[in-house]
Structures are given as structure tokens and as C-alpha cells.
Amino acid sequence: MLDLLEMINHTFPDTQLWGLTSLSRLVIQAENDWKSPWYIIVSGVGNEYHLEYLVPDDKSPWQGARVVGGATSLAEARRKLIIAMHECEGWSGNEELADLVRFLNEE
């Protein structure tokens, strides 16, 4: 999990992400308030990561719907984290994230 935190800090040097930990999970929020909505949850063991993100209300088939997936490497977890941050819309208007999404789309 420490590798994951280091990757997040390296990937988003200008974007503040707030995290809460619970057992082996990292709950990622866009605001520094434990009561603010969670957008992404990551759990991991070794180089295997489980990611889930909250679907925005206007795209959700029901309240609280989420997308769940996995990654078998830190590089794949990074890619899926960028996608999750973009898709959940918790960081709308963030240029650093928009640049990363554009880079992923060019690959």
C-alpha cells in the first residue's frame, strides 16, 4: 500500500487527494472532510489492487452504483486510478487530471 501512496503522490503532485484508511483500504476523497463523499476506494496486497469508484448520479442506474475492477501491477493501478478519478467526476475541471486522461487516450 505504501507503493500505491507513493505512486499517487508522484502522479498528482499538484492535486490534493484526501484519504481515509480502514483496515487495508484507502478511501479517496476530493475534500479534507471525513464526512464528504467518497469517490474511490483502493485496497491492495502486494502488486494486486482492487479499485472501485462511485458512478455520478446523472449516469447511475441507481443511487450509489459503483464500478469495480482490479489491477495486477502498480502501473495498471495508476492507469485505472486516473480513469476512475475522471469518470467519477469528483475532480471535474482539474487540469492535471485532464492532461493525464489525454495522455492515456493517446496511448
H helix or E strand, kind and range, residue 71: strand 66-71
Query: What is the average per-residue pLDDT within 57-83?
Result: 96
List pLDDT tens digits, range 2-52. Answer: 889 999 999 999 999 999 987 789 999 999 998 888 999 999 887 799 999
- Domain carrying residue 28: 2-100
With cell 442506474, the residue in question is 61
What is the average pLDDT score of the chain? 94
Query: What is the average per-residue pLDDT within 73-80?
Result: 96
Domain total for the chain? 1
11 CB-near residues (< 8 Å, 6+ apart) = 78, 81, 82, 100
Q: Residue 93: beta bridge partners?
A: none
Tell me, yes or no, whether 107 lies in a domain.
Answer: no
Tell me, yes or no, whether 105 lies in a domain.
Answer: no
**Quick one: pLDDT at residue 1?**
81
B/e letters for 11-47, b = 16+ CB within 10 Å, e = fewer, are bbeeeebeeeeeeeebbbbbeeeeeeebbbbbbbeee
Q: Supply the pTM of this predicted model.
A: 0.93
